[in-house]
Amino acid sequence: MEKEVVFTLKSLYRDDMRITGYRFGKGDKAACIVGAIRGNEIQQLYTCSQLIKTLTKLEQRGAISKHSQILVIPCVNPHSMNIGKRFWTMDNTDINRMFPGDANGETTQRIANGVFEEVKGYAYGIQFTSFYMPGDFIPHIRMMETGYHSPSLANLFGLQYVLLRKPKPFDTTTLNYNLQLWDTNAFSLYTNATDQIDEKSAKHAVVAVLRFLTRMGVIKYTSHSGYIASLLNEDDLLSVKTTTGGIYRRLKNPGDGVERGDVLGEIVHPYEGQVLEQVISPTDGIIFFAHTSPLVMENVVAYKIIRRLHE
């Protein structure tokens, strides 16, 4: 393993911001893995750290294939992470809306460019990422339909679900989208946490990446085969929205099977304590996404349910 600083940004008042990469193996650019891009992606950072730990052991055992190079960047934004800020410290811009970046542009464009120059050109790109809404997911692989995507490869992670979605206008500046445009098979891997560490979910994510890399011939690692993924389109997910605001009592979790008419959650009057609204499942299915915050507004997506799928 070679540890190197792939990008440095000087700061007047703080230590330099160093983006560190860990390289395993030598030769062809096989896979790059990127962890936290936003400052609150603690789970993504932790997952990367566990991956780096495992890859280090595998390399010592000679389990990295010849002529295969893996790059892992655990954290793109340590400056924000260290002060508990989600986006860029100074101007609050989102580095994951700045790709492919610009070497002569604004600060976050330069950071994005510095990272992108390192991660482009790999056969496979994996990003541990988080959703822009607060909530928990079933662990899954998410892909955008760019025309370059490959759902059959996504299946090789052995996670239960692969979600396909059509890119929205803002997606064109994300890392995943730009990796795909540069001929990398890019995957976003969602675990079921962001600000907090979920050990079990992080372990699943690490094993999923190792399983994928094994199946692509990049490493040798023996694990169980995982799942044959259910391929979902975003349209298969039914959003269940709140119709009032209040204190939120979540009654179901990602992965739970539900039936039409089941009570999924309750919204409680913030002063008087009575239940203002029951969040009712409009369909049979499996919970894919669940709102986490203890407060909820009106018209918020409390759940996303995979319709008519049973446990």
Partner 1 sequence: MIETVVSIGLAVDEKMIIKKNRIQPANLKGNEKRICIVTGLHGDELEGQYVCYELTKKINENIQFLNGIVDIYPALNPLGIDSVHRGMPTFDLDMNRIFPGSENGAMPEYVAAKIIEDIDGADMCIDLHSSNIFLREIPQVRVSEHMEEKLVPYAKLLNIDFIWVHPVSTVLESTLTYNLNNKNIPTLLVEMGVGMRITKEYGDQLVKGIFNLMKEIDMWRGEVLAVKEPIISTEKEVEFVNAKYSGIFIPCVGILGVIKKGDSMGEILNPLTGEVEEKIVSPCDGMIFTLREYPVVYEGSLIARVCGGAEWKKR
Nearer to partner 1, 233 or 244 (CB): 244
Query: Which of the ranges 144-152, 224-232, 257-265, 291-299 carries the binding residues for partner 1, by CB under 8 A?
Result: 291-299
Q: Binding partner 1 by CB under 8 A: which of 3, 62, 66, 104?
A: 104
Q: Binding partner 1 by CB under 8 A: which of 41, 94, 118, 136?
A: 94
Q: What number of other Cβ atoms are within 10 A of residue 3's Cβ?
A: 9
Nearer to partner 1, 130 or 201 (CB): 130
Beta strands at 246-250 and 185-190: parallel, antiparallel or unpaired: unpaired
Nearer to partner 1, 62 or 169 (CB): 169
Query: Which of the ranges 66-74, 106-114, 141-149, 279-287 carries the binding residues for partner 1, by CB under 8 A?
Result: 106-114
State the chain's maximal CA–CA distance in angstroms. 66
**CA atoms in the 13 A half-sphere facing the CB of 32:** 24
Burial of 215 (0-12, 13-18, 19+ CB in 10 A): middle
What is the token pair recorded at 103? 């070497």
Query: Which of the ranges 66-74, 151-159, 238-246, 254-262 carries the binding residues for partner 1, by CB under 8 A?
Result: 238-246
With contact defined as beta carbons under 8 Å apart, do 148 and 118 qualify? Answer: no
Q: Element (H or E) spanning 151, and its range?
A: helix 151-154
What is the token pair recorded at 115? 């990272």
Minimum separation from the CB atom of position 126 to partner 1 (A): 25
Phi/psi class of residue 152: alpha, beta or left (left: φ > 0; alpha: ψ in -120 to 50)?
alpha
Q: Binding partner 1 by CB under 8 A: which of 163, 206, 296, 305?
A: 296
Residues from 42 through 81 that contact partner 1 (CB under 8 A): none
Q: Does 298 contact partner 1 by CB under 8 A?
A: yes
Nearer to partner 1, 280 or 295 (CB): 295
- Tell me the residue ranges of DSSP E strands in 191-256: 230-233, 237-241, 246-250
Nearer to partner 1, 64 or 302 (CB): 302
Burial of 197 (0-12, 13-18, 19+ CB in 10 A): middle
Q: Element (H or E) spanning 137, and its range?
A: strand 135-137
Q: Binding partner 1 by CB under 8 A: which of 132, 195, 199, 278?
A: 132
Q: What does the per-residue mask of binding to partner 1 show for 7-46, with x meaning CB under 8 A?
A: --xxxxx---------------------------------
Q: Binding partner 1 by CB under 8 A: which of 78, 151, 245, 282?
A: 245
Q: Is 152 helix (H, G, I), strand (E, B) or coil?
A: helix
What is the token pair recorded at 83? 């002060």
Residues from 141 through 200 that contact partner 1 (CB under 8 A): 168-170, 172
C-alpha span between 52 and 72 (Å, rounded): 7
Q: Binding partner 1 by CB under 8 A: which of 29, 86, 165, 215?
A: 86
Q: How many residues bind partner 1 (CB under 8 A)?
A: 40
Binding site for partner 1 (CB under 8 A): 9-13, 86-87, 90-92, 94, 97, 104-110, 132-133, 168-170, 172, 239, 244-248, 270-271, 295-301
